[in-house]
Amino acid sequence: MTRTWFITGTSSGLGLEMTKILLQHGDTVIATVRKADALSHLAAQYGKQLCVMQLDVTDTAQVRDVIDQAFALRPIDVIVNNAGYGLFGAAEELTDDQIIHQINTNIIGSIQVIRAALPHLRAQKHGRILQVSSEGGQISYPNFSLYHTTKWGIEGFVEAVRQEVSTFGIEFTIIEPGPTRTRFGAGLISPAPMDAYKHTAAHQVRNAIANGDFAIKGDAVKTAQAMINSVDVKPAPVRVTLGSTAYHSVHAALTERLHALEAQKDIAFSADGDEGLSQ
């Protein structure tokens, strides 16, 4: 079975790997990039099977226009909301402009892609949206506070929207890869470090990444293939966690969170009103 895919952020990383695998499989890909010639090598090889469109997801008007154009070409089976990057630094080190751009790209951009696609998916009465998040949508590392903000935020948005549109045949899956061998690390935006954080967990993480001590087990091609395979699963899984690092990290975080919740059961129930008390 072949499908038509709309994928944002395809010039590198998982978006590029997915695009290559899908084209080899015979699927049609509408791929968005910020630089017009980023996929010229694939366009020359695959012709009409690949449509490349220029898109900056921080430009909401452009998002709407590009998605309208994409659906005018043909029905789209799968939307892959992949565009994004990482902002790396202690919260106090980040500039206001860096914070705004991270939020505009990773969360508002993703939200607007979904909002722009929904009317088209409702009209065709089917479609799957893969929202690329991260293990960082369930756990957190020092120095990634704003990146985590966007991933935790977009997961909450998707959790709610999937319930709103399930009647229309629209399905969502949140993709949560762990550390994966892509150019994500090279693309990190990092402000100048502050001396005050030299002996903190933030500095330790900075050193681990700089020295190559941060374990990266995930394979980009295998991760991209697993993302593609998830579309064949019915009903759509709410989340797909990819990589052993992500599995162990998310499992530990959820277990700890559940234990903490259970320990506070009496406190939680103590906040209820007395039964029968008039409001």
| Active-site choice (11, 20, 110, 133) | 133
Report which DSSP code applies to 36: T
Which of the four pLDDT bands, split at 50, 70 and 90, describes residue 276? Answer: low
DSSP codes joined into one string, 184-230: TTTT-B-PPPPGGGTTSHHHHHHHHHHTT-S---B-HHHHHHHHHHG
Is 198 a residue whose pLDDT tops 60?
A: yes
Query: Which pLDDT tens digit goes with each residue over 81-132?
Result: 999 999 999 999 999 999 999 999 999 999 999 999 999 999 999 999 999 9
Domains, the chain: 4-85+94-189+216-268 (3.40.50.720)
Q: Percent of the chain scored above 90 by pLDDT?
A: 81
**Partner residues linked to 241 by β-bridges:** 176
Is the pLDDT reported for residue 278 higher than 70?
A: no
State the Cα angle at 25 between 236 and 182, rounded to 5°.
75
Q: Model-level pTM greater than 0.85?
A: yes
Is 141 among the residues known to form the active site? no
151, 197, 230, 249: which is the annotated catalytic residue? 151
pLDDT at 218: 81
DSSP 8-class letter at 108 = I
Query: Is 147 known to be catalytic?
Result: yes
User: What pLDDT was estimated at residue 213?
Assistant: 67
Mean pLDDT value across the chain: 93
Q: What is the pLDDT of residues 129-180, one digit of tens each?
A: 999 999 999 999 999 999 999 999 999 999 999 999 999 999 999 999 987 7
Catalytic one among 46, 147, 197, 230? 147
pLDDT in tens, 65-80: 999 999 999 999 999 9
**Residue 197 a catalytic site member:** no
Alpha-carbon dihedral angle through residues 119, 151, 38, 216, given to the nearest 10 degrees: -140
Which residue type does 154 have? I
